[in-house]
Chains A and B, each alone.
Chain A
Amino acid sequence: MARERVYIDADVLIIGGGTAGCLAAYEARKVGGDDLKIVILEKSFIRNSGALSAGMNALNMYLNQGTPEDLVAYIRYDMCGAPVREDILLSVAELVNETVAMMEKEGLPIKKKADGSYLNRGKWNIEINGSMLKPITANMAIKARARVYNRVYVTDLIKVGDAVAGCVGFGVRDGKMYVARGKVVLVCAGGAAGIWRPRGHGDAHHRIWYYPFNTGGSYAMCKRVGAKMVGFDTRFVPVRTKDTYSATGTLSIGMWAPMVNAKGEAFMEEREEYAKLGGHTAPTPLRVWAYCREMENHRGPCYMDTTRGDPERVEGLKAQYLDMAPCLVLYWACNDINPGREPVEIDAADPSIVGAHAACAGAWTIGTSRMTTVERLFVSGDALGAAPSRFISGTWTCGRLAGRHMVRYLREKQPQLLEISPAEVDALEARIFAPLERYQKCSFYTNGEPVEGVLPQQMEWRMQNIMEEYCGGRSRWFYVNETNLAIARKLVNRLRREQLQYLVAKDTHDLQLAWDVINRLDVCQLVIDHIDYRKETRYPGYVNRTDYPEVDDHNFDCFVTSVWDPETDELQFSKEPYQQIVPGDRKSETV
């Protein structure tokens, strides 16, 4: 059935109107002038979409002291001294304070100390009243007069020759096919949630740490056009408040509540094996690993001991959580928990694939240009790899820099819109809507489920079971080895290669869920193969390899990158050398 089509042409085409996308639009307008045609395609509603949708109570990248170099040294330290893209991180660190000042002017309430300076949380964070973070962020795109198309789910990029020409997608509400061209294209559709089995089931299966509607589209789309990918061996494992998986920075850095085990030991300091790794301020993966070891050795349950925290700050705890995780406040109220008087129980959540939080997944970029190895294709936010810990403020900044670089590219290279062959668009249309078309031809069981098909949710569960059990989910304490990775690969590839033909969707909402699982399966491929390639354990806690438990600097003190080969459906791996820009010991902080 032919679908109604919407054709869009832009100078700057932005996929994903989130933290990065909105600020990229803003900056592109600022440096690119009034005539620039900026378009944002957003799968939900830009005012409330993305990781910021529930609000946040801190900006985790800010220079309260020190230099950009000090911040980069800290980020590097926090990734266990592993290679990070110091060039990219420096470019962000140099501009981040300016971005924050700008966002304060735009209405963001930032908490202040008595002397009027920002209220810091630890060295590199500041506290905010961030329940309106997303509307304030989205306003930057509106101010920039970006043309925003809400409820357009982008499924694929289109390449013409060596360059990206645009993208296609479908209207989640109107069912139309969207064909958009851009002289430059920015992918910033966030990271990937829902790859592993969540802890809650039924009505709590989305009570997970990461935003469940970012489903790996950024990574899958970049991979499928042959962009070089990096960092999928760093899964972010959030150790968070038990059951609700709300952020714990509020407790740990905010009020110095230590992690304790069932015996009340502040184990990071009191147990020699963790103290020597850095104690309470050990790198993030190592704190995750220590928590897991305590649990595995039957010293759980574990807690953040708020009773040992700063009493003044503990007082305002509920209020702070209302700004970012109201569900935790209700959870406490319904379980008779008073976090000021008793420790808050913690647990490890299902891993998430992210590039802007404390992990490195994303597309590889050339220098600080934000351009991938595919001409005209730019990335930012969680979609950009090997530059971790940019968080909200760094992602805003990274978006701005992407905006600047795209405008520079337009000026210097004067690219023109590329012609996309009608036959290719027809083929993409068939591919996008195939699950809907198949559903039309189904017969149905008495309960209404299709006889000749698999529902998106069913395939999602299958994928999550495979990843959980063979690619080190939380129930396996994040352990993997070659044997189970091989099983994971075999099963995931069977889903990808043979089973997608059975995927059916009854309406455009389900079509969205179908594409979520298609994209997630591509992320699974990246994750399994990257973890397998890195035959060492560089980030214990995130990935624990029982077959290669040590760090192997000789072979792996570098970036591991891959490019997808469409002929064989395999990833071709290579290594990129690490370049240390900030001098000094990579395993220690400088301030």
Chain B
Amino acid sequence: MPPYVLPDKCDGCQGEKAPLCELVCPGNLMVVEKNTGKAVCREPGDCWDCMTCTKSCARQAIQTRIQYQLAFYPGKLIPLVGPRSVTWTLVDCHGNVERFIMRTLAGEEDDEI
């Protein structure tokens, strides 16, 4: 499920010290291009689908798409990361929506981290 970046949402992480997706990608695959100022996955086939970039993006500009050779279009899986949980929205190809809230860290949601 390589990441694809929506140009209207990506702002190249202007406010950050370093662009977040570029900072975190284990495969060194995400780069903010100089001429556009926006992120791109340099080689979608090299991605392991760990979704770290997608979860890290402050503007939800990254969509992970399942490889078409493996599955049909247009399902979606969107994570929204909270302090101690992540909320996943799963939309299948027919538009049916399921939501899952998964714990990520022990403790109460509003405890300080």
- Interface residues of chain A, those whose CB is within 8 Å of chain B, are 44-45, 47-50, 53-55, 104, 107-110, 129, 131-132, 136, 151, 172-173, 200-208, 211-213, 243-244, 318-319, 322-323, 326-327, 329-331, 333-336, 509, 512
Contacts and interface: CB of A to CB of B under 8 A. Distances in A.
B75 A318 contact: no
Given A129-B102, A336-B93, A203 B75 contact: no
B1 A44 contact: no
Interface in B76-111: 76-77, 79, 86, 88, 90-94, 98, 100, 102-107
B46 interface: yes
Contacts of A318: 90, 98, 100
B48 A54 contact: yes
Contact of A319 (B44, B46, B79, B102): B102
B70 A243 contact: yes
Contacts of B50: 48, 53-55
Contacts of B52: 48, 53-54
B69 A327 contact: no
Interface of B: 1-2, 23-28, 42, 44-52, 64, 66-67, 69-73, 75-77, 79, 86, 88, 90-94, 98, 100, 102-107
Given A334-B71, A334-B72, A45 B23 contact: yes
B48 A212 contact: yes
Nearest to A57: B102
B68 to A, nearest CB: 8
Nearest to A132: B104
Contact of A322 (B25, B92, B102, B106): B102
Contacts of A54: 48-52
Contacts of B106: 104, 107-110
Contacts of A173: 28
B20 to A, nearest CB: 11
A108 B44 CA distance: 31
A329 B48 contact: no
Question: Secondary structure at chain A's binding surface: helix, strand, loop or mixed?
Answer: loop
Contacts of B27: 44, 206, 212-213
Contact of B72 (A151, A212, A243, A335): A335
B104 A129 contact: yes
- Chain A to chain B: the 10 pairs with minimum beta-carbon distance, closest first: A334-B71, A334-B75, A54-B50, A333-B92, A204-B67, A53-B50, A330-B77, A129-B103, A327-B49, A132-B104
A53 B26 CA distance: 8
9 contacts: A108-B106, A131-B102, A173-B28, A200-B70, A206-B27, A330-B1, A333-B98, A334-B75, A336-B92
A319 B92 CA distance: 15
A314 B46 CA distance: 32
Nearest to B105: A107
B49 A207 contact: yes
Contacts, number: 145
B86 A131 contact: yes
Given A104-B106, A326-B51, 4 more contacts: A54-B52, A329-B88, A330-B1, A330-B77
Given A201-B69, A203-B69, A109 B104 contact: yes
A449 to B, nearest CB: 15
B45 A335 contact: no
Contacts of A211: 26, 48
A334 B73 contact: yes
Nearest to B46: A206
Nearest to B69: A204
A110 B103 CA distance: 10
Contacts of A47: 24
Nearest to B71: A334
A203 B65 CA distance: 11
Contacts of A48: 24-26, 50, 52
Nearest to A150: B23
Given A48-B52, A243-B70, A335-B72, A326 B24 contact: no
B51 to A, nearest CB: 6
Contacts of B90: 318, 329-330, 333
B79 to A, nearest CB: 8
B50 to A, nearest CB: 4
Given A53-B26, A54-B50, A330-B75, A205 B66 contact: no
A206 B47 contact: yes
A54 B33 CA distance: 25
Contacts of A323: 102
Contacts of B51: 54, 326
A334 B105 contact: no
Nearest to A103: B106
Nearest to B55: A131
A6 to B, nearest CB: 18
A129 B100 CA distance: 13
A47 B100 CA distance: 24
Contact of A202 (B45, B75, B105): B45
A108 B77 CA distance: 24
A54 B88 CA distance: 15
A47 B105 CA distance: 15
A211 B70 CA distance: 19
Contacts of A331: 66, 70-71
A512 B104 CA distance: 32
Contacts of A107: 105-107
B103 A50 contact: no
B66 A509 contact: no
